Amino acid sequence: MKRVKLALCQMQVGPEVAGNLATARRMLAEAAKARADIVVLPEMFPCPYRQDSFAEYAESSEGTIVGLLRQAACDGGYYLIGGSFPERAADGSIFNASYVLDPTGRVLAVHRKLHLFDVELSEGVSFQESAALQRGMAPALVDLAGVKTGIGICYDLRFPEYARLLALAGAELLVYPGAFNPVTGPAHWELLLRARAVDNQVFTVGVSPAPHRDLDYQAYGHSMAVDPWGRVLVTADQEEALLLTDLDPDVLEKVRRELPVLKHRRTDLYRVQGIAKWAGWGD
């Protein structure tokens, strides 16, 4: 792993796509001025997070949104994890998809959200992603600036098996564009990001939109980066913010050397299945 500078774009996502894309361009340009190596946008950065509007805003890989991401990565000379947007596949299916690009604008990977957010919380939060979206079927692990990086989207964060699978495949950094809400956010957002970091001895990053008063679904904000010891390196509140932090490979090496949790697993008693299915992956 190399030492890298990470930029987390906690942008405010409003009701208008044109305004959201303009905000994204502005913040991506700010990340370039800060000389970031890896830049991350939030979940559903171009449009409101609303199940009845995903089809309205869905685009293919040849659309305006991916074009913006390509241009920003090229102009900024960084690796870009493009949050997520509603992606329309050739067969008409819609996915919550995160495109990952290199500094030439080439798409390195696409992570389609594996676990769909179908919940009915007594505190008043109700959502049914499966009414509009299809589940992704493959994990995403990619080398970004010399850092092996696993990608998840929001609800994927709640599934420790997925994070462990990525860690066993070599991940040093886990990135989750997400949009937790004012009920789940205070209870679980930081807790889960720190847990995934400690469980797997990796850096973890969660990038949320900033809340917008004109939207029905309110994002929690509080984007953050956590180191492999579970320490919060940087965090936002609920305002729009560009967060910058360095990921130090010496910290990862020290934690894994002094407390070798991954080596002490009892694979004679338990194991995460399915890793060998993905080309080039091992246990």
Segment holding 59, helix H or strand E: none
Asked if 172 is an active-site residue, the reply is: no
DSSP result, 100-123: EE-TTS-EEEEEEPSS--EEE-TT
- The answer to whether residues 203 and 176 touch, using CB atoms and an 8 Å cutoff, is no
- The answer to whether residues 76 and 39 touch, using CB atoms and an 8 Å cutoff, is yes
List 9, 47, 59, 113, catalytic entry: 113
38-40 and 85-88 beta bridge pairing: unpaired
- The answer to whether residues 113 and 156 touch, using CB atoms and an 8 Å cutoff, is yes
Hey, what long-range contacts does 142-146 have (CB within 8 A, 24 or more apart)?
142/100, 142/108, 142/109, 144/4, 144/37, 144/38, 144/79, 144/81, 144/100, 144/102, 144/108, 144/173, 145/2, 145/4, 145/37, 145/38, 145/78, 145/79, 146/1, 146/2, 146/4
Half-sphere exposure for 44 (CA within 13 Å, toward CB): 31
If you ran DSSP here, which 8-state letter would residue 58 be given? -
- The answer to whether residues 20 and 53 touch, using CB atoms and an 8 Å cutoff, is no
List 47, 59, 154, 172, catalytic entry: 154
List 43, 59, 87, 240, catalytic entry: 43
CA distance 200 to 261: 8
Asked if 113 is an active-site residue, the reply is: yes
- The answer to whether residues 163 and 185 touch, using CB atoms and an 8 Å cutoff, is no
Asked if 277 is an active-site residue, the reply is: no
Q: Which residues are catalytic?
A: 43, 113, 154
